[in-house]
Structure 1
Amino acid sequence: MRLLNSLDRRGWLLLGAAALGAALFGAVATTGTTAHAGAALEERKLPMKFNWVACDPNCRGWVSAVGIITADTPRDFEEFSRGRQLGGATVVLDSSGGSVNDAITLGRRFRNLGLSTTVGISVQNRSGQSARPAVAPEAYCESMCVFLLLAGKKRYVPEAAHVRVHQIWMGDRADDAKAASYSAQDLMIVERDIGRLAKYTFDMGGAGDLLSLALSVPPWEDLHELDAGELKLTNLVTTNLVADVLPHVDVAAPAVAELAPKTQARFGAEAEPQPVKSTKTAEALVPTGAAQSAGSQK
């Protein structure tokens, strides 16, 4: 998980796909996509927003969480959840990652509420006379988003979704990580946050393989996309049935065209090697709020 360029030199933002990272990859260019696809790509570049997707009378609804995790995100979620009975609900994630420590805070809140998690894009299905919402599986969960996914008591990842990981890095030096210089204080911050993330991973029921996979991908390499075997190996997936997290909900055809091919597995069964080039995730376009304590970003 790569770190985002720091919006505040006192802190770092983590973006991307699964363990400790630097803010880099994320929104990938697409061709021939729908309006929903373009909107999803743009929203994923902005600070995370939460929306309640109602689908009464046949289902309870779910929480849509789209965008980058910033220092304001845990507070924004508390404001969103005020007055709502969210216990046991499902969060549908589409995110490039963000701040490590704030993602950990948010993930613990998810677990305390007994939330389930999945990856997808919430869309309004207007076929025929129906305006029933649905979930398009062609979505991204990268860097620290992967740890939010891990916070779910039940976790489902559709086959068309992209779950990607990379290392933690200093957010203001991720663009040219090899050429940048680092102090002992910088190394202390990164190692401290790795420790925090490791504890969180095990508290959430994740496997050490998740940390090992993420830490094996430096910021100058493409993010590693987890295949089906690795999703199980890392304990990111607890069920193969979408109905376990979104009962009575339609799973729409992909709203976003294939954005990138699967990458070769690092652990587990070998996958067919395919060329892939991930792009950087855009930095949040608005200030992320008050001064933050120093921390890593993905």
Structure 2
Amino acid sequence: MSTYLIGDIHGCYHELNALLSQVNFQASTDELWLTGDLVARGPDSLGVLRLVRDLGDSVRLVLGNHDLHLLAVYAGISCNKPKDRITTLLEAPDADELINWLRRQPVLQVDEEKRLVMAHAGITPQWDIDTARVCAREVEAMLSSDSYPLFLDSMYGDMPNNWLPELSGLARLRFSTNALTRMRFCFPKGQLDMISKDAPDSAPPPLRPWFMIPGPVSEHYSIAFGHWASLEGKGTPAGIYALDTGCCWGGDLTMLRWEDKQYFRQPASRPDDRGIETQSDAQARDITRLG
């Protein structure tokens, strides 16, 4: 049995299949961890969701901000943006089934035996592992409930940006969602900065990447995350694994085999290899690459 961790797929169905074939992935014996953002920006979000769902219990995934955006579009909370390229998914005959499966997926994975934690954006240094578990379960409970449109409508916003145990209600849920799915930089004491998307070496002071600020979780666990393609998988401390390498922007889809820490990469396919990307798709990709 092997454990494979894959960074943000973003609808890159062809590359996902090729990467799984590289290692001869066996759903009956192997385990697949996915850092979230399964959908949007790439050419085949529908194919990705169907594949991941059909892999069943062999998959341990977390939701990312683009997955939440898809849920918000489906619920009528947010607009379907052409650059997200999710219309085919929304119009699919099994869209309801896929969406209801997706909103019941976790936002945090913790494996005590492996001492491994995974969240789409990472773990705020203001949290210990017990707090991270509690806050994640609260978000998951709302997403899987009949009240999920209310939560999705309130999740947009950058405040509060400082963790306090007494946070409650929608403010608490918004902080947790931002920390788990949107965070990149923090202030020195761990408060979230939700504005800067710069590369780590060009962010304005005093901002620092969240993983450069010591915290209780990173002291005791390895952390795998996606979300930050401009890192290109580089520049993190030991025990912190950045796995989003921008496949949907023409980079690679990256996989880490946990047992021996070997990396596998699948370069983004050319449009004619995928056989489904049009000229207008390519133009949209180029226009939105920095988005």
Q: Please indicate the TM-score interval, normalised by the length of the shorter structure.
A: 0.3 to 0.5
TM-score w.r.t. the length of structure 1 is 0.36
TM-score w.r.t. the length of structure 2 is 0.36
Larger RCO: 1 or 2 (CA < 8 Å, sep 6+): 1
